Amino acid sequence: EPEVTQTPSHQVTQMGQEVILRCVPISNHLYFYWYRQILGQKVEFLVSFYNNEISEKSEIFDDQFSVERPDGSNFTLKIRSTKLEDSAMYFCASRRTETGNTIYFGEGSWLTVV
Amino acid sequence: LAKTTQPISMDSYEGQEVNITCSHNNIATNDYITWYQQFPSQGPRFIIQGYKTKVTNEVASLFIPADRKSSTLSLPRVSLSDTAVYYCLVGDLNSGGYQKVTFGTGTKLQVIP
Q: How confident is the model at residue A99 (pLDDT cuts 50, 70, 90)?
A: very low
pLDDT above 50 (res A96)? yes
Q: What is the mean pLDDT of chain B?
A: 89
What is the C-alpha to C-alpha distance for residues B98 and A27, in angstroms, rounded to an integer? 19
Question: Is B100's CB within 8 Å of A45's CB?
Answer: yes
Query: CA–CA separation, B13 vs A60, rounded Å?
Result: 39
Give A17 to chain B, closest Cα distance, Å.
24
Residue B27, pLDDT > 70, answer yes
CA dist B41 and B21 (Å) reads 24
pLDDT value of residue B15:
96
Q: Render pLDDT for B49-65 as a digit per residue (tens, 0 to 9).
A: 999 999 999 999 999 99
- Type and span of the H or E element at B100: none
Gap between the Cα atoms of A88 and A34, Å rounded: 12
- A82 vs A95 pLDDT, higher one: A82
* The pLDDT value given to residue B83: 97
Dist CA B20 CA B22 (whole Å): 7
Q: How far is B91 from chain A (nearest CA, A)?
A: 11
- Residue A72's pLDDT band, with cuts at 50, 70 and 90, is confident
Q: Which of A6-15, B66-75, B89-98 has the lowest mean pLDDT?
A: B89-98
- One-letter amino acid at B48 equals I
Q: Binning pLDDT at 50, 70 and 90, where does residue B37 land?
A: very high
Whether the per-residue pLDDT at B96 is higher than 70: the answer is no
Neighboring chain A residues of B34 at a CB cutoff of 8 Å: 102
**A88 near B CB under 8 A:** no
Residue B93: list chain A partners with CB under 8 A.
101
Q: Does the beta-carbon distance from B45 to A101 stay under 8 Å?
A: no
List the single residue in A45, A55, A104 with the smallest CB-CB distance to B101: A45
Pair B111, B80: CB distance under 8 Å:
yes
Mutate to test the interface with A, among B99, B102, B107 (most CBs of A within 10 A): B99
For B48-76, letters b (16+ CB in 10 Å) and e give bbbeeeebeeeebbbbbeeebebbbbbbe
pLDDT band at A73 (very low <50, low <70, confident <90, very high): confident
Higher pLDDT, A73 or A13: A13
- Residue B99 is predicted with a pLDDT of 56
Q: How far is B78 from chain A (nearest CA, A)?
A: 23
* Cis before B7 (ω within 30): no
- According to the model, what pLDDT value does residue A102 have? 78
Look at residue B67 and tell me whether its pLDDT is greater than 80.
yes
Average pLDDT of the segment spanning B71-84: 96
Mean pLDDT of the residues in chain A:
91
Give the per-residue pLDDT at A69: 92
**Which run of H or E residues covers position A78?**
strand A75-79
Instruction: Flag whether pLDDT at B103 surpasses 90.
Output: no
Strands (E), chain B: 9-13, 18-23, 32-38, 45-50, 53-56, 61-64, 70-75, 84-91, 107-112
Taking the CA of residue B67 and the nearest CA in chain A, the distance in Å comes to: 23
B40 CA: distance to closest CA in chain A (Å): 9
> Would you state the pLDDT for residue B32?
86
CA distances in angstroms from A2 to A24, A49, A105, B1, listed in the order given: 11, 20, 11, 28
Contact between residue A9 and residue A111 where contact means Cβ atoms under 8 Å apart: no
Option in A43, A95, A106 nearest B103 (CB): A43
Task: Return the residue of B nearest to A33 by Cα.
Answer: B99
Q: Taking residues B18-31, what's their average pLDDT?
A: 91
Chain A contacts of B100, Cβ < 8 Å?
A: 45, 48, 56, 58
Contact A71, A21 (CB under 8 A): no
Torsion of CA A57, A60, A63, A66, to 10 degrees: -60
